[in-house]
Amino acid sequence: MEHPVENPKITVSGVKRIDQILSWYRGENPGTLTNLARMLNHGTLGGTGKMVILPVDQGFEHGPARSFAPNPQGYDPHYHFQLAIEAGCNAYAAPLGFLEAGAAEFAGQVPLILKLNNSDSLSQLEPCPAVTASVQDALRLGCCAIGYTIYPGSEARNVMFEDLRELTLEAKAVGLAVVVWSYPRGSGISKEGETAIDVTAYAAQIAAQLGAHIIKVKPPSAHIEQDAARKVYEKEKIPVDTLPDRVRHVVQSAFNGKRIVIFSGGAAKEVEEVMEEIRAIREGGGFGSIIGRNSFQRAKPDGLKLLRQAMDIYLGH
């Protein structure tokens, strides 16, 4: 687990923070390590081991009006490249269409993550995103990593796990990093259970076991979904009362903190609420945030200010 130090780029033992993180992935090839390092060393938080990533897959997932009408500049794919670059984000993640529309224009200015699977909100069936892009697309567009969503708790989870296994094998073979959105959802769990502490920690563990380098989960609530898990949490007195406690437990669940775990910003909310959550993530040893709607649905000056405020918190300011 992390301990605050005077220089966020150096660990207590004097080792560079990025070198320490990369040491956890020694089983990977040099290309994958290089692409991880590219993201970790880029932008305002470069070298600190913390990350703020801009994700813009909401147009595909929720529809254009729900995603971009609050700030119509967001209908333009170039806007999101510019937002990520000007804010100093570690990376920008999006589906194939948005990245294709700006990868050449903004080549080399921000590390890219190609989201390889997506779903729409028009179906009420058990969640199971379609594979909508390829590892070759990621290479062609100059990406550092592929992104993939799994829904533990869905009856279709085996399809997602098996597709991810194949894509991960292919991505690692060509030196790309793997980012997994691990979002429990489906008939196996209740709505409240989607962000329960036991379920969120389980989701982080599943993503780590499937070979993810960077794991994205939602900030967990204090609710415990599974009766069998509740008995263990109570017996072992695992602290879950505060958000920093819960973040700490989720990070611990991803190989005792030896996998990068970042937390989603979720639905649009007031700035101070976003910052309070980020302070808790930092206090709990989380590696950062992936902030979409709370940034791009605001007017650009406000979106930039929010992202920079988040980065300041991770810098300890």
Give the residue numbers annotated as catalytic, written as ranges. Answer: 216
Nearest to 206 by CA among 255, 170, 163: 255
Backbone angles phi, psi at 20, to 5 degrees: -65, -45
Task: Say how far residue 20 (Cα) sits from the centre of its chain.
Answer: 20
Alpha-carbon distance of 61 to 301, in angstroms, equals 25
Q: What kind and span of H or E run contains 285?
A: none
| Token pair for 105 | 């224009």
Alpha-carbon distance of 140 to 118, in angstroms, equals 19
Helix (H, G, I), strand (E, B) or coil at 51: strand
Q: How many residues does the chain have?
A: 317
* Beta bridge mates, 7: none
Note whether 150 and 210 are within 8 A (CB): yes
CA distances from 119 to 60, 128, 163, 295 (A): 7, 7, 15, 22
